[in-house]
Amino acid sequence: MSANDRWKISSTDNQSKLKASLDKNKQLIKRAESDDTIELERKESYIEPSTRILLRKLLESSEDEEIIPVYQPGRGFIYRLSHIEGKDDSTVIAKNFLDNLVRLDILEKTFYESVSECPHCESTTITIHNKCPKCKSHDVDKTSLTEHIPCGNIDQKNMYLENHCPKCGELLLEGQYRNMGRWFVCRECGERFENLELELICRNCMKNFSLKESTLAEFPKYSLNKLRKKEIRQNVASLEDVSKIFTELGFNIEIPGLAVGQKSGMEHHFSLIARKRVNQQDITIALDHAISESEIQSQPLILYIYKTSEVSVDLPVFVAIPKLSETAKKIAHGHNILLIEGFIGELKIYEEIKNQIKKRIDDLAPQNDKHNKTVNSKFKGINRLKGFMKER
């Protein structure tokens, strides 16, 4: 090998190494981006009503509750929580809904069952038919063949009437006949065969196909992702508790709450929007909640402040679990945001926060006509808000 050749090789080698490393970097960036997107999607799904309901039920049930596929004749495999009372369609959980929660890392799935499906319509309602390998007729009888050893006659067992050989007429005696095992006889063409051909017919689309042509479908079982259990509990429970407070105070709740920004025309999502009419005035509360392993930084709070600046909210509430950072706390204070930190599940804290909210609402709403003038100016933004709020 000449020096030149060696250089060529090492140069191509280096280039491919460089390319591999660049590709790897690209992949890493891509993965990081998709991790971010998934994290965002996961946070959104925690406030999505059907996800919240399912997660709450999973959290309320036993430690290792699983969602297991159950076969329903004529319908196939369906999913529902095992301890659920109602067995109507409303309790059935769609498989693609569960698969999406697996994608978001909220649920995990493990193998449970794998079945043959119709390759045309994915139905599992299938009947199995025996088929004659010669004439393809389904008119096949399953029987056993008996050999009469002295005369060599081989026939189906039921042809030996009263144990007499149909060929030589002798009585079958112990040791003079033998059972040749299971056989199949075609009633159409008389063919005898040892191995069946199977034909499947889909009872949904009525098409027929062989076992080989059928597709395999997996029906896993689903459970909460144990590594995220704390996060799931915090997300679901905190919103539940807050919404309970507002319900007790007579508010109508929307989770998630949607509002269209007055300037941007953008649709803003809040974790919760609560509305109530007090003394002829509509009061709107918009709430976001943020959850973190340690403390919440300013970013989610600033986004929240931006959103509230667009939709004029009467009482801004921000829930931070476990707490806000010191800087973020100052920002919240500066914007007169009612800040709720930590869990409010405990009755004493719960009542305390309820009273705080009640006091802030009382400050907002006019008590009598005397105050109406000042209050009206305070409520200037509210009429503008009406109509911008999306009806749900």
Site for Zn ion in 173-232 (CB under 5 A): 186, 188-189, 191, 202, 204-205
- Closer to Zn ion by CB, 21 or 210: give it: 210
ω into residue 366 within 30 of 0, thus cis? no
Decide: is 275 part of the binding site for Zn ion (CB under 5 A). no
Give the residue among 213, 198, 287 at the shortest CA–CA distance from 251.
287
User: Which residues are registered as beta bridge partners of 184?
Assistant: 142, 193
Decide: is 121 part of the binding site for Zn ion (CB under 5 A). yes
Considering only 110-118, 250-258, 268-276, 311-319, which stretch makes contact with Zn ion by CB under 5 A? 110-118
Burial zone of 174 (CB within 10 Å; 0-12 exposed, 13-18 middle, 19+ buried): exposed
Give the residue among 211, 201, 219 at the shortest CA–CA distance from 76.
219
Taking the complex as a whole, how short is the minimal distance between the CB of residue 127 and Zn ion, in angstroms? 12
DSSP state, residue 314: S
Considering only 64-72, 106-114, 149-157, 337-345, which stretch makes contact with Zn ion by CB under 5 A? 149-157
- Count of chain residues binding Zn ion (CB under 5 A): 21
Three-state secondary-structure class, residue 265: coil
DSSP state, residue 346: S
- Closer to Zn ion by CB, 214 or 292: give it: 214
Residue type present at position 46: Y
- 232: number of Cβ within 10 Å: 22
- Closer to Zn ion by CB, 94 or 121: give it: 121
Binding test (CB under 5 A) with Zn ion, winner from 43, 56, 57, 134:
134
Three-state secondary-structure class, residue 75: coil
Three-state secondary-structure class, residue 50: helix
- Closer to Zn ion by CB, 22 or 189: give it: 189
- Closer to Zn ion by CB, 116 or 356: give it: 116
Angle at 70 between CA 68 and CA 76, to 5 degrees: 130
Binding test (CB under 5 A) with Zn ion, winner from 61, 91, 100, 123:
123
- Closer to Zn ion by CB, 40 or 151: give it: 151
Binding test (CB under 5 A) with Zn ion, winner from 120, 157, 221, 228:
120
Residue type present at position 365: A
Taking the complex as a whole, how short is the minimal distance between the CB of residue 337 and Zn ion, in angstroms? 57
- Closer to Zn ion by CB, 117 or 314: give it: 117
Decide: is 171 part of the binding site for Zn ion (CB under 5 A). no
Considering only 165-173, 214-222, 263-271, 334-342, which stretch makes contact with Zn ion by CB under 5 A? 165-173
Considering only 76-84, 118-126, 236-244, 335-343, which stretch makes contact with Zn ion by CB under 5 A? 118-126
Taking the complex as a whole, how short is the minimal distance between the CB of residue 208 and Zn ion, in angstroms? 10
Distance (Å, rounded) from C-alpha 111 to C-alpha 71? 16
Give the contacts of 270 (CB within 8 A, at least 6 positions apart).
Answer: 256, 257, 258, 259, 286, 287, 288, 307
Residues that bind Zn ion (CB under 5 A): 118, 120-121, 123, 132, 134-135, 137, 148, 151, 153, 165, 167-168, 186, 188-189, 191, 202, 204-205
